[in-house]
């Protein structure tokens, strides 16, 4: 039988080659840890997509279902899930790069905003047509691990100010500290060469506490291996799903 892929993303290669150049893409593809990173991103993407689709089905009674992607990067979720209204937030440079693929899509709005100044998020969203009283899903994937924990705290504080009458969903995808040990053990990666730093990968319990402190009701924690192993094991990443 032919294996069923976790995710089909027909835009990924084009995005990568346009943003990094073919030579860099080939070099990264040949890296020792490439297969592990591809697995991590594919599984994480599938988990997030499934949660968003389930949320969308639950909110069918509402006319507007907003998704705010915080630090969208090269994500192509808006190209795959066309029955939601997307606000894609990233730096002006990233927004400019993405224009070629999303400028023709009526369900996507781009915001060039540095999330290191999260207090600017609310007014920027409202100016772009965001409805605080519409059902909203906030998605944060592949972002927090590149910043100190204080960045996460500031971002969650900013989200506290953006609260209307409709239900809100928050999905955080975070790396486990074990990811660094895994790269060293399995791929002989030296810490000084890695993009991820131990100080930027707090334990999953820290994220759980922060969500509770900032007004979110944590509903689900999906760990990489939690559904396949009968005994506790180390996972490379976690997805936290919260509501308010």
Cβ–Cβ under 8 Å, residues 200 and 174 = no
Comparison of pLDDT for 121 and 35, the residue scoring more: 121
The SS3 of residue 66 is strand
pLDDT, one tens digit per residue, over 85-101 is 999 999 999 999 888 88
Average pLDDT over residues 215-231: 78
Least confident residue range of 23-27, 75-79, 121-125, 191-195: 191-195
State residue 2's pLDDT score: 56
Average pLDDT over residues 197-218: 96
pLDDT, one tens digit per residue, over 168-177 is 999 999 999 9
Average pLDDT over residues 150-163: 95
């Amino acid at each position: 039988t032919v294996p069923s892929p976790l995710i089909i993303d027909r835009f990924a290669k084009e995005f990568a080659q346009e943003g990094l150049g073919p030579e860099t893409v080939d070099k990264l593809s040949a890296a020792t840890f490439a297969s592990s990173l591809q697995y991590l991103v594919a599984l994480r993407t599938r988990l997030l997509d499934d949660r968003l689709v389930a949320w969308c089905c639950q909110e069918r009674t509402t006319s507007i279902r907003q998704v705010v992607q915080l630090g969208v990067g090269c994500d192509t979720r808006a190209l795959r899930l066309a029955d939601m209204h997307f606000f894609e937030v990233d730096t002006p440079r990233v927004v400019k790069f993405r224009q070629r693929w999303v400028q023709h899509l009526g369900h996507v709005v781009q915001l060039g905003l540095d999330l290191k100044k999260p207090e600017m998020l609310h007014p920027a969203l409202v100016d772009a047509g965001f409805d605080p009283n519409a059902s909203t899903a906030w998605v944060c994937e592949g972002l927090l691990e590149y910043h100190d924990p204080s960045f996460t705290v500031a971002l969650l504080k900013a989200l506290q100010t953006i609260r209307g009458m409709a239900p809100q969903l928050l999905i955080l995808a975070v790396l486990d500290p074990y990811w660094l040990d895994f790269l060293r053990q399995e791929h002989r990666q030296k810490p000084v060469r890695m993009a991820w730093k131990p100080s930027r990968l707090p334990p999953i319990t820290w994220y759980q506490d922060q969500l509770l402190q900032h007004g979110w009701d944590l509903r689900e924690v999906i760990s990489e291996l939690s559904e396949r192993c009968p005994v506790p094991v180390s996972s490379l990443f976690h997805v936290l799903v919260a509501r308010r």
